Amino acid sequence: MSIDPLDALRHATRARVALGRAGDAMPTGHLLTLRQAHAAARDAVHDPLDAPALAAEIEGELGVGVCCVRSAAPDRSRYLQRPDQGRRLAEDTDLPHGEHDLVVVVGDGLSPLAIHRHAVPMLREVLARLDGWRVAPVVVATQARVALGDEIATAVGARSVLVLIGERPGMSSTDSLGAYFTYDARRGRRDSERNCLSNIRPPHGVDYPPAADTLAMLMAEARRLKLSGTGLKADPALGAGEDGTS
């Protein structure tokens, strides 16, 4: 039985709180754990996304068409140093054009690990809630930033875009998935014109069904009001929670 009165506080969160000290330094055990977490966060950023395997998994398990693209950033190093290149499609990109209400983009972002773990089950939940939407083939994008979705939406002829992307790893969360929705997507859209649901990563973060419910509500309201971003809020009266939306 522990006699440390701070145990309850530590068990209430995955954040590093109440670690104590050894002399004027952090206890060795906690220091080693911290370094391990830092290494895991770096690995999450640099491990490449296996786009062909992900595309095959999406096609096989969800039965939807998939296209693969890359941003203008030619490699991970350039992607990290030049965020602007991660927001533009590579010059040789060729995507089928049509008339769609929505295109879903799955991008590696800053955590390909999050995509490998959560993209397919989250995509399954989202697609199940899109009855009545004309949905373009899913696009898997590498070296991708959120705004790359705007260019993809324009290229495929979609009015709106939902980007599922790996979030910047934290020291206790290396696999968080973010979902960004933009109505009337096109190049030059500001971040304030998007709605974001973050920290999708069961069992420690938001689970897939409630995340998909919130997204579906926001997307339906976006179509009705013809806007997204700060002017569009999760309305509890419509059955969605407020956590993680902006």
Separation between Cα atoms, residue 194 and residue 148, nearest integer Å = 13
| Identity at 176, one-letter amino acid code | S
* Cα-only R_g, the chain: 20
In the numeric block, which tokens belong to residue 24? 């004027």
**221 in a known ligand binding site:** no
**167 in a known ligand binding site:** yes
Measured at the CA of 171, the angle between CA 170 and CA 174, to 5 degrees, comes to: 55
Residue 215 vs residues 51, 76, 83, 116, 194: alpha-carbon distances, Å: 24, 30, 26, 21, 12
Separation between Cα atoms, residue 106 and residue 151, nearest integer Å = 14
Separation between Cα atoms, residue 41 and residue 237, nearest integer Å = 38
CB under 8 Å to 85, separation ≥6 — which residues? 71, 72, 73, 78, 79, 143
DSSP single-letter state for residue 6: T
**146 in a known ligand binding site:** yes
Residue 84 vs residues 79, 104, 198: alpha-carbon distances, Å: 8, 21, 22
In the numeric block, which tokens belong to residue 167? 């979030």
Residues within the annotated binding site? Answer: 146, 167, 196
- From the annotation, which residues make up the binding site for adenosylcob(III)alamin? 146, 167, 196
